[in-house]
Amino acid sequence: MGTFIVIEGIDGAGKSTQAKLLAEWFEKKGYEVVLTKEPTDTAFGKLIRRLVLTGGKEGIIDGARISHEAEALLFAADRAEHVHKLIKPSLEAGKVVISDRYFYSSLAYQWARGLDLEWLIDLNRFAIRPDLVILLDLPVKESMKRINGRSIKTEFDKIVELQKKVRENYLELAGRFPEIKIVNAMASVEDIHNDIVALVEHELFKK
């Protein structure tokens, strides 16, 4: 079996940058790495981007275009394809899988939308548990600054209140899921990467 690592955090936490750096770190050590993300680029992921993320004038905050439950089911369907078509076979082939977001995103975000956490956990029970989840944590004020510098924005990104709730949810989930380790995402890209590597070595290689 390979190694499964997930990077989580609010929008603008620096997940994709850190996922890429970690993938390169593993590659340099000679591992075969699969760098992936959710929502995926498959048909389900595309559907999510079309129905949920691109918003519309009404957006997803005030009167979602689809119900919150349907949204959660779409994310779960996308994840089921992700697990069965990519994550599981890659792990079985002994590879290192690094995913930018996973079911913890559904727990943090869809819970923030008012859905029942236990229902969300049940819905995602099929999802293979990762060996390590790195939660990039930072204040929303800081993440919003980073997002504003990005050219493409989603409806999600704009809403500070939701992000605050999502951050709180992630921190609460860290108390419930022992595989979640919190990393301070306020530091420089390099320092955060070094913290992540230290965690990986400590948690997975027991150095």
| One-letter amino acid of 10 | I
Q: Per CB under 6 A, does 18 bind ligand TYD?
A: no
Distances (CA, A) of 31 to 5, 102, 123: 13, 22, 32
Q: b/e map of 165-176 (b: 16 or more CB within 10 Å)?
A: bbbebbeebbee
Query: Applying CB under 6 A, which part among 86-94, 100-108, 167-175, 181-189 lies near ligand TYD?
Result: 100-108
Residue 154 C-beta: closest distance to ligand TYD, Å: 5
* Cis bond upstream, residue 39 (ω within 30): yes
Nearest CB to ligand TYD, comparing residues 90 and 105 = 105
| One-letter amino acid of 85 | K
* Residue among 4, 26, 44, 109 that touches ligand TYD (CB under 6 A): 109
Q: How many residues does the chain have?
A: 207
Residue 53 C-beta: closest distance to ligand TYD, Å: 6
Give phi and psi for 10, each to the nearest 5: -70, 170
Residue 11 C-beta: closest distance to ligand TYD, Å: 5
* Residue among 25, 75, 111, 170 that touches ligand TYD (CB under 6 A): 75
Residues lying near ligand TYD in the complex (CB under 6 A): 11, 38-39, 53, 75, 101, 105-106, 109-110, 154, 156
